[in-house]
């Protein structure tokens, strides 16, 4: 019973993690982004939805790791 609940939660977290990674904007826009847009990566101009998706991705990744370890122990 517990293993089934953990497995269902892991599938939901995995789908959420895939969705948030796909919804994030890319780090650069092709070759011009690597030349002209390099300053944004250094100075950290992540705002709005990109910042939100980055935080959600980190939380979902942590939840996925914890659920994977819990499933291995059950």
pLDDT tens digits for 26-63? 776 555 555 555 555 555 556 788 899 999 999 999 99
**How crowded is the C-beta side of 22, counted as CA atoms within 13 Å?**
6
The first and second tokens of residue 32, run together, are 């011009």
Question: Has residue 68 been placed in a domain?
Answer: yes
Range of the structural domain that residue 53 is part of: 2-25+40-73
Is the pLDDT assigned to residue 20 strictly greater than 90? Answer: yes
User: How many structural domains are present in the chain?
Assistant: 1
pTM summary value: 0.71
Is the pLDDT assigned to residue 68 strictly greater than 80? Answer: yes
Alpha helices in 2-48 (DSSP H): 2-23, 30-36, 38-43
Question: Has residue 34 been placed in a domain?
Answer: no
Residue 46 in 3-state DSSP?
Answer: coil
Q: Give me the pLDDT at residue 50, please.
A: 87
Question: Has residue 31 been placed in a domain?
Answer: no
Of 13, 14, 15, 37, whose CA–CA distance to 26 is shortest? 37
Question: Has residue 33 been placed in a domain?
Answer: no
């Amino acid at each position: 019973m517990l293993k089934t609940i953990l497995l269902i939660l892991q599938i939901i977290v995995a789908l959420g993690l895939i969705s948030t990674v796909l919804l994030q904007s890319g780090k650069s826009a092709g070759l011009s982004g690597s030349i002209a847009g390099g300053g944004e990566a250094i100075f950290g101009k992540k705002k709005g939805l990109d910042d939100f998706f980055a935080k959600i991705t980190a939380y979902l990744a942590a939840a996925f790791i914890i659920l994977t370890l819990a499933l291995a122990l059950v």
